[in-house]
Chains A and B, each alone.
Chain A
Amino acid sequence: MKIVSAIWPVCLAILPALALAELHVVIIEGLEGESRYGEQFREQVAAIDIAARTLTDNDRIRVFRSNDAGRDNVLRYFESLSATLGEDDQLAVFLIGHGSFDDHEYKFNIPGPDLTGEDLLNILNNMPNSNQLLVNTSSASGATADMLQQEGRMLILATRSGVERHATRFGVYFASGLSDPAADVDKNRIITALEAFNYAERRVEDFFERRGSLATEHPRMEGDQTGRFSLVRLGLAPTVSDDEKLSDLVADRNALNARIDELRLSRERMSTDDYQARFLEAMLDLARVEEAIEEREREVGLDE
């Protein structure tokens, strides 16, 4: 009855590589068409904005509201960003709005001349970095998949092709997933692009299935690094401390995580009962260390 989303084995306790590069976020809100979509788009933009602020500074987040998202404005911004973006930096671009496709050209609807698929390609190609994520929640967004695909670039699109022209629900679920712990499948308190996509894709499927209707949209994801591209941190960021005892405990935790990873990798060579027993034993050790860490953080005043 229900299609089980693939649960990627990204929970190997290796955190996404967010500490090594700066994250730049650009959110573009398109024209609403009808007022009900306007409200939805505003809520999605707000959710993505809030999510981005958990991972990067405000001055690396640029939000284009529908009234200032003119083509020239947007292109000018990306041009200036290309001059400042580092090669190792991450770039996440979010398009929230309506799209169209006339069998030749995709357009994202903004005031004045629309942003075309060609514009998007040029924007992304002109960036000095390769670690790029484009999330396009608009109708017909799938029309840009082939032209935008590139090594290192990740695409999350609300439709699988330009033929799916109805207003989508994907954006609503994608945005809501950024604050829903249910999207954090591996419970590491980071929601990656992969996790957000899987969450939203499942919600879209359930929506149509529960109503007994044919799905008018099929979300699509390209690129194999989406499991390492963080979109939001849930809860507080880990604090740095020079407390020696705490540092020792954190080292113990890291060692235990490595032990658990190794155990999981060698799972096929063990019986089920043996694996379960050893896994739970390692988990108990980890749980005790985590408990000790929390206690130590309280003692040194890091829990506030």
Chain B
Amino acid sequence: MNSCRPLSGSLATLVLTSVLGPTDLEARDIHYGAVDHPDVIACDRLYWRGETQESTVCYERLLRSRAPLSVKAEAAWALNDLKTANGIFQQVLREQPDDVVSRTRWGDLYAASHNYGEAMNIYREALSTDSSYAFARLGAARVLVGSFDDAANQYLEPLLTGSDVAGGARTGAWLLVARLALENGDRDKALAALEEAEGFLTTNDWPLLEIYALRASADLLNNDSDSPWTARSLKYNPSFGGIYSIPAHFYVIMRRYRDAIDLYQQAIDIEPGLASAHEDMGVNLLRDNQFSRARRHLEIAHDKDPFSPKAVNTLRLLDSLENFRLVDDPAVPGKAGELPITLRLHKEEAAVLASYAIKLTRESIAEFTERYDFELREPVVIEMYPDHEDFAVRTSGMPGLGILGATFGYVVAMDSPSGRSPEEFQWGTTLWHEMAHVFTLEATDHLVPRWFSEGISVFEEWRSGPNRGVRIPISVYLAIKEGRMLPVAELDQGFVRPSYESQVIVSYMQAGLVCQFIDQKFGVEKLTALLYKFADGLKTLDAVEATFGITADEFDREFRKFVESEHGHILDNLDQWHRTQLTMMQRFDASEWNGAIDAAEQMLDVFPNYTEPDSPYLVMASAYEKLGEQESAMATLETFEARGGYEPDALMRLANWMYGQGRIAESIDVMQSVIMVDPLDQDVHGKLGDMLLESGDAAEALREFEVALALEPHDKATAYYRLAQAYYQTGKTDQARDTLFLALDVAPGFRPAQRLLLELTRSDTDIH
């Protein structure tokens, strides 16, 4: 399979220097005075008005003229001849290394070419020459705005509050603040920032296009789709595609992908050369399962902006999909009452995963349809990627994403179990989580806030998922203890704009706990009621009050009490828990089995639900085994499993012990939960199939044996024999005979297969 990797910084530089010449005139950001040469401004004003041909002539004239080199660099850039622009900037800075204006514009060129690392280096160089140069600060702030450590703020804050800041740079800073505020859902803050920005622009006759676009975005996020700012923008510049593509970006953040697609199309209709709109259109069409249209737009985007790694990565991903297979259920469309499900699985693992994925998806649909009172209206598409970077590109257009699954509506993309070790990834739980998103998104036309959709998904993992149990990482408890939970009205920020690295996982768990709190205190019907308040367009503050009859502040107070009562004992004893964990491991390593058990028990008194791969349950069970106390080891693992433990080797030991005691049905249940974590172990499928046959469930046994065979087992004779048994017991005698042939072809001396052949033949003879 092709792996998708981004263009590295150095490679992007090479690409920058190898572009052969100007292409179509591209969208170049309004610089608000970072460039002050009147000849450049004159050409720019034509461009900003949408007078494309006139501006092209103007820039070309500048490029041919005897204007200063820095002017020519701007002209080349405006003509999309980035190689020439880069070369000219380099020449300027060789001759005048202290020219911070040109150096900053050079950094802006790199940023516009998606080479953010290099851009940042250049901004730092400019600031080392002139630490107060505002446009360099602005460039750095724009690059850093996605980081956790608040680095952007150190550049942004002085621009907003400093006394001697260039008006254009301050304006750019307020526009950045407005964008961030809109991403955080803070409309009031965004509008206030736009007010700050507008004054300078109006006074100095700069175009208000970005203001119009952000105001239109604010209106759209307020469900006002007929914004007057759109008309104003089109009047000023009828071909400014940003009036649609900028609001579309906010729709994407809110997961309103189809609305975003419509806006991107409108952007492209008026500005066909807008590469970013084509690119984002392509990425979002993929989220809506429209692959052919997506490819067309991505190819256009790549043609117009060959530096963008997102288009390249996504196109490579599309190429790699030839290695995937589509599995439809039902196989024959139109079967009454069954919502169609389509799986997109890698061809090497489709035969292994398909039946489990379909079964689990159907179970989730049944569960959530009833619970959330919503019938899905469209087929569901589930995609699993063995290569995590392919999944990351599928989701965001870029590798390096830290999540395991993503839902775009009726399309779910996730890692395949083959892409991660069983210790770190429970594929069944992830699929369950994502299917809950399908419901919360579609039931509310994607109006559900991120926190609540995640909260329900996490809650459903704990409550109804294939490996049930409340699992909260220690790091989250530490964050709760440090007072890092957010008020419910601000919980979205923990996902969209995290301020510290683990805030996303903390927000996930907090959201899950909020849903658990609602379920326990107010009842499950209130959980559903809250969901539909969001469907009505209410924001969190109003939705909470309307659903529960209390203010959000009171809700937060009650929630904190709930957390304290449910988890206070853990929170109060975390330090001691850690120390005891160290003691337990030291004793275990020293073969002090009873001592290790004592320590494990102390840990479990504090935190009985801790079932991660380093759980004290596992140490305790191993210690009991060393002492020869199998019964105690079994009891320990049974508790571990009941509380959501999923470590496959431990669960297989438990299943084998249960089988040895004749507890077949329980053993089967445990092995089926192992498959929800590790479906790729052929031994598990073989053993499970044997048990299912023994318990009379030949149909399920048949599925297990088919999967075992798809895993290309080492012992083929046994795999074929088992399959033949299941075929025979399900009445498929012809298939049984054909499969027995395969078994005996490998091993003619295989007595069980010989006996089955005889039995099959005799029963055929009896019938006939």
Contacts and interface: CB of A to CB of B under 8 A. Distances in A.
Partners in one complex: yes
A195 B714 CA distance: 10
Contacts of A288: 758
Nearest to B745: A279
Interface of B: 346, 348-349, 386, 418-422, 591, 678, 680-681, 711-718, 737-738, 740-741, 744-751, 753-755, 757-758, 761
B592 to A, nearest CB: 13
A290 B419 contact: no
A290 B750 CA distance: 11
Specify which of B681, B737, B747 lies most central, judged by the most chain A CB atoms within 10 Å of its CB.
Answer: B747
Given A11-B748, A210-B680, A185 B717 contact: yes
A187 B761 contact: no
A280 B715 contact: no
A288 B762 CA distance: 11
Which of B349, B712, B738, B748 has most chain A Cβ within 10 Å?
A: B748
A287 B744 CA distance: 11
B757 to A, nearest CB: 6
Interface string A184-223: 1111110000000011001000000011100000000000
B747 A1 contact: no
Interface stretch (A2-10, A66-74, A122-130, A242-250): A2-10
A13 B755 contact: no
B355 to A, nearest CB: 17
A189 B750 CA distance: 9
A1 B748 contact: no
Contacts of A1: 346, 348-349, 386, 418, 712
A271 interface: no
16 contacts: A1-B346, A1-B418, A5-B714, A7-B716, A11-B748, A181-B718, A182-B713, A185-B715, A185-B717, A186-B717, A211-B421, A280-B741, A283-B748, A283-B757, A284-B761, A287-B754
Contact of B754 (A5, A210, A290): A290
A13 B749 contact: yes
Contact of B748 (A7, A183, A211, A260): A260
A2 B712 contact: yes
Nearest to B420: A212
Nearest to A287: B754
A190 to B, nearest CB: 10
Contact of A287 (B386, B421, B757): B757
Chain A interface helix/strand/loop/mixed = helix
A134 interface: no
Contacts of A212: 419-421
Contacts of A188: 747, 749
A149 B131 CA distance: 71
B748 A257 contact: yes
Interface in A13-64: 13, 35
B716 A185 contact: yes
A291 interface: yes
Contacts of A284: 757-758, 761
B758 A287 contact: yes
A287 B746 CA distance: 15
Contacts of A13: 748-749
A284 B754 CA distance: 7
A202 to B, nearest CB: 5
B757 A280 contact: yes
Nearest to B742: A276
Contacts of B714: 5, 182-183, 185, 198-199, 202
A278 B715 CA distance: 24
A276 B755 contact: no
A238 to B, nearest CB: 12
Nearest to B680: A210
B712 A290 contact: no
Contacts of B748: 11, 13, 257, 260, 283, 286
Contacts of B420: 212
A287 B591 contact: no
A144 to B, nearest CB: 27
B663 to A, nearest CB: 24
Nearest to B352: A1
Contacts of A291: 755, 758
Interface string A260-304: 100000000000000010011001101110110000000000000
A279 B744 contact: yes
Contacts of B738: 276
Nearest to A276: B741
A5 B420 CA distance: 24
Contacts of B757: 280, 283-284, 287
Contact of B737 (A7, A257, A280): A280
B365 to A, nearest CB: 29
Given A279-B745, A283-B744, A187 B758 contact: no
Contact of A186 (B418, B678, B740, B747): B747
A301 to B, nearest CB: 20
A223 to B, nearest CB: 21
Contacts of A11: 746-749
Given A276-B741, A284-B757, A291-B755, A7 B591 contact: no
Q: Enumerate the 5 nearest inter-chain pairs by beta-carbon distance, A residue then B residue, closest first.
A: A187-B747, A287-B754, A187-B750, A182-B715, A1-B348
A199 B718 CA distance: 14
A187 B748 CA distance: 8
B591 A186 contact: no
A186 B421 contact: no
Contacts of B419: 212
A11 B745 CA distance: 9
A62 to B, nearest CB: 30
A188 B754 CA distance: 13
A7 B716 CA distance: 9
A284 B418 CA distance: 41
A259 to B, nearest CB: 11
Contact of A279 (B386, B717, B741, B749): B741
Nearest to B648: A210
Contacts of B716: 7, 185
Nearest to B718: A182
Contacts of A199: 714
Nearest to A198: B714
Contacts of A283: 744, 748, 754, 757
